[in-house]
């Protein structure tokens, strides 16, 4: 292992030096000459028809450069959705338009109605308050069940209802599942809620658009987990800017948790406005604004049934879930309750029959999308809660019931379309019982009870699908993107290495861990390896960081590129030492000829 840390070393994070000394370079730290500021006037009603917007008074206020409304974006594309779910009848989901600024209607509190660009943030905000918006308030749909009632107010007038899709998974399993539940010795039923959450990254979202009139190049600096995805979505679908004329930079980003995967209206706005005004335009969200404009998480209501035979073996699981989409489809919203949730409903258990039904619903609330775990916590919560309830109903130990039903042979093909390649659930449970000191619990409970407190022990198993994702598979499932990853390994003349990765670090510590991998492979110090990410002008087209994919997919790309480097370097070394390539060995950063004392160092 390299002296300063290779694979397996608990190396301290090199990026923390700048984060802890206040020298990080976050998007809001970037300021450009001539920069103007935008403030978004956002809807304060959840549902309403815009009858008029009078900007005359506001436009005359000090510092105001220009006020934009939905009318300015009529020729501009809709913010796209990156995943199309096909429903249980073979029909595509209902997919509403999502304008950059509201057109005709507002659909949630926080929906942007107008954007004031001014010389200062305060002037933009002052002027926004002077805009007179005439809104006819409409009844809002908030509750998902009510949203599906006949005659419920429609969030999108041009859709047939508030139902985005009615998805069955696996639809072919349905009859077998129904039959298995009918014939089961015991069925445990549970209705539960995975409540809506706000992602709350420490750094609120920021977007800064810049335009170079001489070259006709646009640049967007943004708090994104995946700058290439933003470049593709915004360039190709919203603004019509080809990739070679559009650069997206995501510098240091202070946490994402999923909420910074998605392409947001504010990003398109600042890019559009910078070109329209020929000035850089910056937006910095306040915390209050984040609460009403960042995509939110979870918000599922579920009924789950677990059927067991007379020996307490799981025989079937059937679920019915309502999943809230909010007012518009955020970038990956349709995939979360379906392919990131239904595919995980087997959990760690060999349940032969599983059927999942999900109805996705539009409501007059902030859009919902992936939040840390994205669909998998929702699945795990259902399975593991219903197992606990079943154990109690049957009078058996919840750990024993789990152990009895664990998948123990791999690979294991689940009834919900995925194949687990490896795992050892017995081993992790054994380890857990040891580290949790389960044997000592009774004494701890007695001590708590002595103090008048009730003490409880809870256990839970989980499995998740990470390393997102095999492109061909997710393409069949509705993904409109490939989910590979990229890396370029650039060896400099004196031996230092620059790695350009398509993964993006916003708290994960890639600058440290990715360098450890390359250093280990070559046998050089990790401090000779620099990791570059977050800039479409520097990094090959990559898909970014979410779904615990960076090392599994981005790291693998980096390993492949490093292998290519080593193969070529071996040829060079063989030439330098006038030896056969087959005799060249690489160890500790040194090439040597097997069986001789000839060697050549990696760098100078």
Partner 1 sequence: MTLAAYVPHNYPLDEIEPGLEETAFYDPSNFTYPSGAYACEVEVDPETGKVTIERFSAADDFGNIVNPMIVDGQVHGGIGQGIGQALLEHCVYDENGQLVTGSYMDYAMPRADDVPFYTVDHSCATPCTHNPLGVKGCGEAGAIGAPTTVVNAVIDALQSGGHKVDHIDMPVSPSRVWEAMQG
Partner 2 sequence: MYAFELERPSTLADAVAALSGGEAQPLSGGQTLIPTLKQRLASPGKLVSLTGIKELRGIRLDDAGQLAVGAATPHVQVAAQDHYPALAHLAANIGDPAVRNRGTIGGSLANNDPSACYPAAALGSGATIVTNTREIKADDYFTGLFDTALEEGEIITEVRFPVPRRAAYAKFEQPASRFALVGVFVAQYAQGVRVAVTGASEGGVFRWAEAEKALAADFSADALSGLALDGAGMIADLHGSGAYRAHLTGVMTRRAVAAAG
Residues of this chain, 356-415, that bind partner 1 according to CB under 8 A: 363-366, 372-374, 376-377, 380-381, 384-385, 388-389, 392, 398, 411
Give the residue from 512, 520, 506, 514 showing the smallest Cα distance to 553.
514
Per-residue string for binding with partner 1, 311-350, x by CB under 8 A? -------------------------------------x--
Give the residue from 53, 152, 147, 65 showing the smallest Cα distance to 103.
53
Paired residues of 249 in beta bridges = 221, 535
- Binding residues among 357-396 for partner 2 as defined by CB under 8 A: none
Selected from 1, 30, 32, 45, the binder of partner 1 by CB under 8 A is 45
The rounded distance, in Å, linking the Cα atoms of 177 and 49 is: 45
The rounded distance, in Å, linking the Cα atoms of 421 and 402 is: 20
- Binding residues among 459-518 for partner 1 as defined by CB under 8 A: 459-472, 482-495, 507-509, 512-513, 516-517
DSSP code at position 573: H
Closest approach of partner 1 to the CB of residue 450, in Å = 12
Per-residue string for binding with partner 1, 428-467, x by CB under 8 A? xx-xxx-xx-x--x--xx--x---xxxxxxxxxxxxxxxx
- Binding residues among 107-126 for partner 2 as defined by CB under 8 A: 125
Q: Which is nearer to partner 1, 183 or 411 (CB)?
A: 411
- Are the CB atoms for 9 and 1 separated by under 8 Å? yes
Closest approach of partner 1 to the CB of residue 210, in Å = 27
- Are the CB atoms for 556 and 566 separated by under 8 Å? no
Closest approach of partner 1 to the CB of residue 296, in Å = 6
- Binding residues among 226-285 for partner 1 as defined by CB under 8 A: 257
Angle between helices 510-522 and 556-576 (to 10 degrees): 30
Per-residue string for binding with partner 2, 129-148, x by CB under 8 A? x-------------------
CA distances in angstroms from 330 to 296, 381, 598, listed in the order given: 10, 24, 60
The rounded distance, in Å, linking the Cα atoms of 518 and 488 is: 12
Contact partner at residue 445 from partner 1, partner 2, none, CB < 5 to 8 Å by partner kind: partner 1
- Under the criterion CB under 8 A, does residue 288 sit at the interface with partner 2? yes
CA distances in angstroms from 452 to 54, 442, 449, 456, 462, listed in the order given: 64, 15, 5, 13, 33
Q: What phi and psi, each to the nearest 5 degrees, are found at residue 515? A: -65, -35
Q: CB atoms < 10 A from the CB of 582, how many?
A: 8
Closest approach of partner 2 to the CB of residue 144, in Å = 19
Q: Which is nearer to partner 2, 116 or 481 (CB)?
A: 116
Contact partner at residue 512 from partner 2, partner 1, none, CB < 5 to 8 Å by partner kind: partner 1
Closest approach of partner 1 to the CB of residue 31, in Å = 28
Q: Which is nearer to partner 1, 66 or 231 (CB)?
A: 231
The rounded distance, in Å, linking the Cα atoms of 263 and 260 is: 8
Cα dihedral sign for 52, 57, 61, 64?
Answer: positive
- Are the CB atoms for 101 and 72 separated by under 8 Å? yes
Contact partner at residue 482 from partner 2, partner 1, none, CB < 5 to 8 Å by partner kind: partner 1
Closest approach of partner 1 to the CB of residue 451, in Å = 8
- Binding residues among 1-20 for partner 1 as defined by CB under 8 A: 5, 7-13
Q: Which is nearer to partner 1, 124 or 407 (CB)?
A: 407
Q: Taking the CA atoms of the chain, what radius of gyration do you get in angstroms?
A: 27
DSSP reduced 3-state for 248: strand
Closest approach of partner 1 to the CB of residue 25, in Å = 21
- Under the criterion CB under 8 A, does residue 190 sit at the interface with partner 1? yes
Closest approach of partner 1 to the CB of residue 182, in Å = 23
Interface residue list for partner 2 (CB under 8 A): 125, 129, 288
């Amino acid at each position: 292992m390299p002296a300063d840390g290779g694979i397996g070393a608990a190396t301290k994070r090199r990026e923390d030096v700048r984060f802890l000394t206040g020298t990080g370079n976050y998007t809001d730290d970037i300021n450009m000459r001539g920069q103007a500021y935008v403030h978004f006037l956002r809807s304060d009603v959840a549902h309403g028809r815009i009858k008029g917007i009078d900007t005359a008074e506001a436009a005359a206020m000090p510092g105001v450069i220009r006020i934009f409304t939905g009318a300015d974006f009529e020729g501009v594309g809709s913010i796209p959705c990156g995943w199309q779910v096909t429903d249980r009848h073979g029909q595509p989901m209902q997919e509403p338009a999502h304008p950059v600024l509201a057109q005709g209607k507002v659909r949630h509190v926080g929906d942007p109605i107008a954007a004031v660009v001014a010389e200062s943030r305060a002037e933009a905000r002052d002027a926004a308050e002077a805009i007179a918006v005439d809104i006819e308030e409409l009844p809002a749909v908030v509750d998902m069940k009510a949203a599906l009632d006949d005659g419920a107010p429609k969030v999108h007038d041009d859709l047939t209802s508030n139902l985005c899709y009615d998805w069955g998974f696996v639809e072919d399993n349905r009859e077998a599942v129904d039959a298995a539940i009918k014939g089961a010795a015991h069925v445990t039923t549970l209705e539960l809620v995975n409540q809506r959450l706000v992602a709350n990254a420490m750094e609120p979202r920021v977007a800064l658009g810049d335009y170079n009139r001489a070259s006709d190049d646009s640049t967007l600096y943004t708090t994104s987990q995946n700058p290439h995805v933003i470049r593709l979505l915004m360039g190709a679908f919203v603004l019509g800017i080809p990739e070679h004329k559009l650069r997206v930079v995501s510098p240091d980003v202070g946490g994402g948790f999923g909420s910074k995967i998605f392409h947001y209206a504010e990003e398109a706005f600042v890019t559009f406005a910078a070109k329209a005004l020929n000035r850089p335009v910056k937006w910095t969200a306040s915390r209050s604004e984040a609460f009403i404009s960042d995509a939110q998480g979870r918000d599922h209501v579920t009924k789950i049934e677990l059927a067991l035979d007379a020996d307490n073996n799981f025989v079937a699981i059937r679920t019915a879930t309502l999943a809230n989409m909010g007012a518009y489809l955020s970038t990956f919203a349709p995939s979360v309750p379906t392919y990131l949730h239904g595919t995980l409903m087997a959990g760690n258990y060999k349940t032969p029959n599983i059927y999942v039904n999900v109805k996705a619903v539009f409501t007059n609330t902030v859009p919902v999308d992936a939040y840390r775990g994205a669909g998998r916590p929702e699945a795990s919560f259902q399975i593991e809660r219903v197992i606990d309830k079943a154990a109690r109903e049957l009078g058996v130990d919840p750990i024993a019931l789990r152990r009895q039903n664990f998948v123990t042979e791999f690979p294991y093909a689940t009834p919900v379309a995925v194949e687990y390649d490896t795992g050892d659930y017995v081993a992790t449970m054994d380890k857990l019982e040891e580290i949790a000191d389960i044997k000592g619990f009774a004494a701890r409970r007695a001590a708590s009870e002595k103090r008048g407190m009730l003490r409880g022990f809870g256990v839970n198993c989980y499995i998740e699908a990470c390393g997102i994702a095999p492109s061909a598979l997710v393409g069949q499932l509705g993904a409109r993107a490939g989910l590979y990853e990229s890396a370029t390994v650039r060896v400099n003349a004196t031996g230092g290495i620059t790695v350009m990765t398509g993964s993006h670090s916003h708290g994960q510590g890639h600058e440290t861990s990715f360098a450890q991998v390359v250093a280990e492979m070559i046998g050089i110090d990790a401090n000779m390896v620099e990791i570059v990410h977050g800039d479409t002008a520097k990094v090959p087209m990559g898909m970014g960081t979410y779904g615990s994919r960076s090392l599994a997919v981005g790291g693998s790309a980096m390993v492949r590129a490093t292998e290519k480097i080593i193969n070529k370097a071996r040829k060079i070394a063989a030439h330098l030492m006038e030896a056969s390539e087959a005799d060249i060995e690489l160890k500790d950063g040194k090439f040597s000829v097997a069986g001789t004392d000839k060697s050549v160092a990696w760098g100078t």
